Amino acid sequence: MTSTPASIDRDRLTALIDRERSAYQAGFPGSRAAFAAGGKHLLGGVPMTWMRMWPGGFPVYHATASGARLTNIDGHEFIDLCLGDTGAMAGHSPAAVQCAVAQRYAELGGATTMLPTPDAAWVAAELTRRFGAARWSFTLTATDANRWAIRLARQVTRRPKIAVFSYCYHGSVDESMDFEESSSMGRGGYVPRW
């Protein structure tokens, strides 16, 4: 016995999406205004174009964060499940991290000199202890991490092709963009939506 798949009522779906977008826009007027103001000098109205991809038409704008909670400029509090894409894995501004950062700034005289310190070897040893991999390499951005991972994978596997997610923010790598007409990103490759 086979069942007939239920059909989707496209008009109802469109009405529900419109309702949710209207509620979103009404609930976040400060974020909407900040997004509009950003359009004057920011490409796509945001600091990084991936931030533009919110289903409501504009992103929620950050005001403050503490621990695992953040508050946007409209006063709404959220539990932050992203934690700065792991940059805030210990939470936002925990006292122990604030003290450690302040101490390191005072001892090193700045945030970065683009030179190694003995701490890098200690961190790599600790990562080996915790996770087992014998060798570690550090990157400063998701884009840099992507390039490095692609370079290593190609060297180890001797395979030139890779698979990537279409418009899923984890940095970007021009070499992974699909510029074929059949691309899921549209004719001519990456097409930003603004």
Using 50, 70 and 90 to split pLDDT, how confident is the model at 1? low
Using 50, 70 and 90 to split pLDDT, how confident is the model at 106? confident
CA–CA dist 136, 35 (Å, integer): 39
pTM (two decimals): 0.62
pLDDT over 50 (residue 133): yes
pLDDT, mean of residues 135-141: 86
| Least-confidence region, from 123-127, 154-158, 173-177 | 173-177
CA–CA dist 28, 58 (Å, integer): 9
CA–CA dist 152, 105 (Å, integer): 33
Domains of the chain, earliest start first: 10-112 (3.90.1150.10), 116-194 (no CATH)
CB 34 within 8 A of CB 61: yes
Please calculate the CA angle 55-60-65 and round it to the nearest 5 degrees.
Answer: 140
Instruction: Give me the pLDDT at residue 190, please.
Output: 45
Q: What is the DSSP letter of 52?
A: G
pLDDT, mean of residues 181-192: 44
Most confident among 14-28, 100-114, 157-171 (mean pLDDT): 14-28
Give the model confidence (pLDDT) of 60-71 as tens digits: 999 998 888 999
Using 50, 70 and 90 to split pLDDT, how confident is the model at 192? very low
* Secondary structure element (H or E) that encloses residue 78, with its range: strand 77-79
pLDDT over 70 (residue 181): no
Which single residue is written with the structure tokens 């090193």? 108
End-to-end CA distance of the chain: 48
